[in-house]
Amino acid sequence: MLEELIRSHRAKYGVIGLGYVGLPLAVELAKAGFPTTGFEVDRSKVDAIGRRESYIADVPNAELKPLVDSGKLTATLDFDQLGAMDVISICVPTPLSKSRDPDMSYVVRATEEIAKRLRKDQLIILESTTYPGTTDELVKDAFEKSGLRCGKDFFLAFSPERVDPANVRFGVRNTPKVVGGVDARSGELATLFYAQGVDTIVPVSSARAAEMAKLLENTFRSVNIGLVNEVALMCDRLKLDVWEVIDAAATKPFGFMKFVPGPGVGGHCIPLDPFYLSWKLRSLNYKARFIELAGEVNTEMPHYVVRKITNALNDESKSVRGSRILLLGIAYKNDVNDMRESPALDIQRLLEELGANVAYSDPHVPSYHAHEGGRVYTSVPMTSEELRRADCIVVTCRHKAVDFGFVAKHARLVVDTRNAYPFNAPVTGDARIIRL
């Protein structure tokens, strides 16, 4: 019955969590013809979808509107509708606690909401990044308390999200999707379902294998970013330009993959995912030394940038305290409005703790709350007056919308953490450029 509903695109599809992962996924499966319902606790997101307005840059209004108009995509605060869904994807956050332990509260709450309404012939797919064993141990056990049996009465799988905000080449449809079932039948059904809206499916033997594959992807990136960030620190001591060194090494046509340093790492994946693996392995009495070392190096980068700023100001007989510092970019990476775990936020906080007057300019982030109920920061216009007013400009994002030539022309001092001013490119203007 469920298989036929999937093949005929009559299966009712629910997505819990309509953020950076859930909304693009819901849109793609709705475009494939499935009647899709997004489940949210945030009324503002539900209302925005009702108005045909996207709050995710990767989902244009022109793509959202026809789906809502046709009734293929709806959003609701009413979790009682979960009982009517044939397939449900869980796309909720999995942050870390202050002690870097997994915070599974969002997954637990989503699981509890489904468990209250679980019925026969439902397929549930966890997409939230987590440690190996979560789908089997946490989700399956909660569902089976109802008396229903996984693989017989209901079906359960894990399929990790692979969202890369602002990537114009790869989206939900053309990014290969890893799928692993808790049992063989669950894996088959989850593979069949996602194949209706994703070009390439990569089945693996189990949910645990899929969970591990996701953590490997981002641990690989974290370790290599940690390595290249440490190379940046080494080059600083050796009075070498790290960008020149990297570009030279990258000319090797084999055995080298280019990574670049920066002010730290941000987004939901790289700063968090490796620690899910590290935490799980600690429970098995194994210390993941590479992961933890890479995390230490990457976490140290905002402090390194602040020391760069401090030294650059000292060279001009200025102290950090009382200086006006303008951050160019508050998002976690170039050309997005996503601020999750942004290193620019750490740099801002550290500078303010030292007494600096910190402002930011970001065309993608007009304003933001420092924390819930906290101070509201507003982006300042990047005018010649603002640039001249600042004692130091810090390039924390290399947004395409920013004219860095204009910045160099009007600024006095620039600390460049993103190679906006390449080592071998001439700079027009009187600004003193300090590279990472």
pLDDT exceeds cutoff 70 at 375: yes
Higher-pLDDT residue of 124 and 167 is: 124
Q: Which stretch of 125-134, 204-213, 372-381, 408-417 has the lowest confidence by average pLDDT?
A: 372-381
What the block records as the tokens of 173 is 């449809």
Instruction: Average the pLDDT over 233-249 and give the result.
Output: 95
pLDDT (tens digit per residue) in 244-286: 999 999 999 999 999 999 999 888 778 888 888 898 998 899 9
Domain identity same for 200 and 313: no
Secondary structure element (H or E) that encloses residue 180, with its range? strand 177-181
pLDDT (tens digit per residue) in 333-367: 999 998 989 999 999 999 999 999 999 999 999 99
pLDDT at 371: 66
Q: Where a domain ends, among 156, 188, 205?
A: 205
Per the domain annotation, does 221 fall within a domain?
no
Strand pairing class (36-39; 73-76): parallel
Q: Where a domain ends, among 205, 225, 260?
A: 205
Task: DSSP for 376-426, please give it.
Answer: EEEPPP--HHHHHH-SEEEE----TTS-HHHHHHH-SEEEESS-SS-TTS-
Instruction: Average the pLDDT over 75-84 and give the result.
Output: 97
Domain identity same for 139 and 257: no
pLDDT (tens digit per residue) in 61-70: 999 999 999 9
Instruction: For residue 120, name the pLDDT band (cuts at 50, 70, 90).
Output: very high
Per the domain annotation, does 16 fall within a domain?
yes
pLDDT at 218: 92
Q: What percent of the chain has pLDDT over 70?
A: 99
Domain identity same for 290 and 365: yes
The residues with which 74 forms a beta bridge, in sequence order, are 37
Instruction: For residue 72, name the pLDDT band (cuts at 50, 70, 90).
Output: very high
The DSSP symbol for 102 reads B
Through-space distance between the first and last CA atoms of the chain, rounded to whole angstroms: 59
Distance CA 228, CA 294 (A): 10
Domain identity same for 198 and 245: no
Per the domain annotation, does 58 fall within a domain?
yes
Domain identity same for 197 and 278: no
**Size (the chain), residues:** 436
Per the domain annotation, does 354 fall within a domain?
yes
Residue 354 φ then ψ, to 5°: -85, 0
Per the domain annotation, does 40 fall within a domain?
yes
Decide: pTM greater than 0.85. yes
pLDDT at 372: 60
Per the domain annotation, does 197 fall within a domain?
yes
Q: What percent of the chain has pLDDT over 90?
A: 86
Domain identity same for 148 and 262: no
pLDDT exceeds cutoff 80 at 106: yes
pLDDT at 238: 97
* Overall number of domains in the chain: 2
User: Mean pLDDT over all residues of the chain?
Assistant: 94
pLDDT exceeds cutoff 70 at 323: yes
Domain identity same for 426 and 361: yes
Instruction: For residue 373, name the pLDDT band (cuts at 50, 70, 90).
Output: low
pLDDT at 255: 94
- Cα torsion 311, 312, 315, 319: sign: negative
Q: Where a domain ends, among 147, 180, 205?
A: 205
Apex CA 148: angle with CA 280 and CA 16, to 5°?
Answer: 60
Domain identity same for 272 and 417: yes
The residue ranges of DSSP E strands in 40-93, in sequence order, are: 73-76, 87-90
Identify residue 225 by its one-letter amino acid code. Answer: I
The set of catalytic residues is 269
pLDDT at 47: 97
Domain identity same for 87 and 184: yes
Domain identity same for 319 and 383: yes
pLDDT at 175: 96
pLDDT exceeds cutoff 90 at 167: no
Domain identity same for 287 and 147: no
What the block records as the tokens of 282 is 């600690």
> What CATH code is carried by the domain that includes residue 346?
3.40.50.720
CB-CB contact of 193 with 87 (8 Å):
yes
pLDDT (tens digit per residue) in 1-51: 899 999 999 999 999 999 999 999 999 999 999 999 999 999 999 999 999
Domain identity same for 142 and 250: no
Q: Which domain holds residue 322?
A: 241-435
